[in-house]
């Protein structure tokens, strides 16, 4: 198969109409018409991830997020950047093909990033979730106990929590990456990827701090962008194996970027 044929196969098997106008969902580097030996799905095309994929003989990367450190993957201002040159040369010298699947993935009725986020966080009932699944009810627990469960289940080390750990909670609102939802009156806890701490359209952090001061059970768990969406790319690999059998397909995680 060629890289272009892999993308065409994905298009044919996606249940929702394909968005041809997406600036994100394009080939980023490499020859789309060259031979694919194996496919790696990942949340972000980091250099470490590229090396691990190459070591496994996987020369096509299907990434959810960017390669060149900006949303449109523009390289116009990077031509003299030494890091850009090293990363570009590694891809080209090893015959790798980079393609991004972002907008079309989020448009699916079953959004892998949301499904993966819920599974990673240990939240049951999200197996068929869309980008905006709404409030979900879990057995009542405390914010602290729930955060500990999320830590164990996701394996994350550096996510952040806001709110009284003793607060009783049961209504969860989930969103991946920048799609972290605003806190609502109906929800007790927002579990998201990332959102501005202040000066955003609605400041979850400030709202929850005030709620805690007033004895109102509210909480925020910020997983970070990669952790919130990474598990979904394993789902992506599993899905692709149902209609691409010519080459191996493996999930190669980028890994949590933060440490404490």
Q: Which CATH number fits domain 3-108: 3.40.1390.30, 3.40.50.970, 2.60.40.10, 3.30.9.10?
A: 3.40.1390.30
d(Cα 182, Cα 195) in Å, to the nearest integer? 9
d(Cα 128, Cα 182) in Å, to the nearest integer? 22
As a dihedral over the C-alpha atoms of residue 233, residue 236, residue 238, residue 241, rounded to 10 degrees, the angle is -130
The DSSP element (H or E) to which 82 belongs, if any, is helix 82-93
pLDDT for residue 132 is more than 90: no
pLDDT for residue 235 is more than 90: yes
What is the bridge-based pairing of β-strands 97-100 and 27-29?
antiparallel
Q: Which CATH superfamily is domain 112-226 in?
A: NIF3 (NGG1p interacting factor 3)-like (3.40.1390.30)
Give domain limits for the chain.
3-108, 112-226
% of the chain exceeding 90 in pLDDT = 92
Same fold, 3-108 and 112-226: yes
- The pLDDT tens digits of the residues spanning 42-65 come to 999 999 999 999 999 999 999 999
Q: What is the mean pLDDT of the chain?
A: 96
Query: Among 208, 244, 176, which Cα is nearest to 13's?
Result: 244
- The pLDDT tens digits of the residues spanning 148-157 come to 999 999 999 9
d(Cα 185, Cα 12) in Å, to the nearest integer? 41
**pLDDT (0 to 100) of residue 177:** 94
């Amino acid at each position: 198969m060629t890289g272009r044929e892999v993308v065409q196969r994905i298009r044919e098997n996606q249940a929702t109409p394909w968005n041809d106008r997406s600036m994100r969902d394009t080939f980023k580097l490499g020859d789309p018409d060259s031979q694919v030996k194996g496919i790696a799905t990942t949340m972000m095309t980091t250099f470490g991830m590229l090396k691990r994929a190459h070591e496994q003989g996987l020369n096509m990367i299907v990434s959810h997020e960017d390669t060149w450190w900006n949303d449109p993957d523009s390289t116009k201002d990077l031509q003299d950047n030494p890091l850009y040159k090293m990363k570009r040369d590694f891809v080209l010298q090893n015959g790798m093909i980079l393609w991004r699947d972002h907008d079309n993935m989020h448009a699916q009725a079953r959004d892998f990033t949301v499904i993966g986020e819920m599974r990673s966080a240990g939240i049951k009932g999200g197996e068929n979730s869309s980008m905006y699944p709404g409030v979900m009810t879990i057995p009542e627990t405390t914010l602290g106990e729930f955060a500990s469960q999320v830590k164990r289940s996701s394996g994350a080390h550096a996510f952040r929590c806001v709110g009284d750990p003793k607060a009783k909670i049961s209504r969860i609102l989930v969103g991946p990456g920048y799609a972290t939802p605003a806190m609502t009156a109906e929800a007790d806890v927002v579990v998201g990827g990332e959102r501005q701490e202040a000066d955003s359209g609605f400041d979850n952090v400030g709202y929850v701090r005030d709620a805690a001061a007033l004895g109102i059970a509210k909480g925020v768990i910020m997983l970070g962008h990669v952790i919130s969406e990474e598990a979904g790319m394993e789902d992506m690999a599993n899905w692709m194996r149902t209609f691409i059998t010519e080459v191996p397909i493996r999930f190669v995680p980028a890994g949590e970027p933060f440490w404490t």
